[in-house]
């Protein structure tokens, strides 16, 4: 990660910390809502996370892609499941963003990391 990105991430984290302090009920409610949404229920957590990852690819939100790829990986999504869903997004233009998502999937897979840190995203705050 570049120094500029690290500085931006640090600034974002400071702002989120301040926002949490100023509005604990709202930010706490958002965090609680995310935890509830991504639990196993009528629809499995894995499918909800794959859907969120697919939407992140479709809207081309790189920090969101990184966050949801990590969550899908942590949620037990296999490489085959990941690729099958990621490659269905927006045809050829989506393929380029699916490649970004796959590159991050490989980064977080044991034995394939390159030491890069996550970007910030609404999901991880």
Centre a 10 Å sphere on the Cβ of residue 67 and count the other Cβ atoms it contains. Answer: 23
Would you tell me the crossing angle of helices 3-22 and 24-37 to the nearest 10 degrees?
Answer: 110
Tell me the per-residue pLDDT of 16-66, one tens digit each, with 9 for 90 and over: 889 889 999 888 888 888 889 999 999 999 999 999 999 998 898 888 899
Residue ranges of domains in the chain, CATH in brackets: 3-124 (1.20.1290.10)
Q: Pick the most confident of 5-14, 75-84, 113-122.
A: 75-84
The b-or-e profile of 15-34 (16+ CB within 10 A means b, else e) is: eeeeeeeeeeeebeeeeeeb
pLDDT tens string 52-68: 999 998 898 888 899 89
Between 48 and 120, the higher pLDDT residue? 48
User: How far is 19 from 21, CA to CA, in rounded Å?
Assistant: 5
What band does 71 get if pLDDT is binned at 50, 70 and 90?
A: very high
CB 59 within 8 A of CB 91: no
Cα–Cα distance, 45 to 37 (Å, whole number):
8
Which tops the pLDDT comparison, 13 or 116? Answer: 13
Give the confidence band of 1 by pLDDT, cuts at 50, 70, 90.
low
The token duo for 86 is 């990621």
């Amino acid at each position: 990660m570049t120094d500029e990105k690290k500085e931006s991430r640090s600034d974002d984290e400071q702002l989120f910390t301040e926002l949490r302090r100023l509005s604990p009920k709202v930010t706490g409610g958002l965090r609680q809502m995310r935890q509830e949404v991504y639990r196993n229920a009528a629809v499995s957590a894995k499918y909800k996370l794959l859907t969120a990852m697919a939407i992140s690819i479709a809207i081309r939100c790189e920090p969101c892609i990184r966050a949801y790829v990590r969550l899908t990986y942590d949620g037990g999504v296999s490489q085959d499941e990941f690729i099958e869903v990621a490659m269905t997004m927006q045809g050829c233009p989506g393929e380029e963003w699916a490649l970004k998502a796959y590159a991050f999937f490989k980064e977080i897979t044991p034995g394939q990391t390159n030491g890069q840190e996550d970007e910030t995203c609404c999901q991880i705050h």
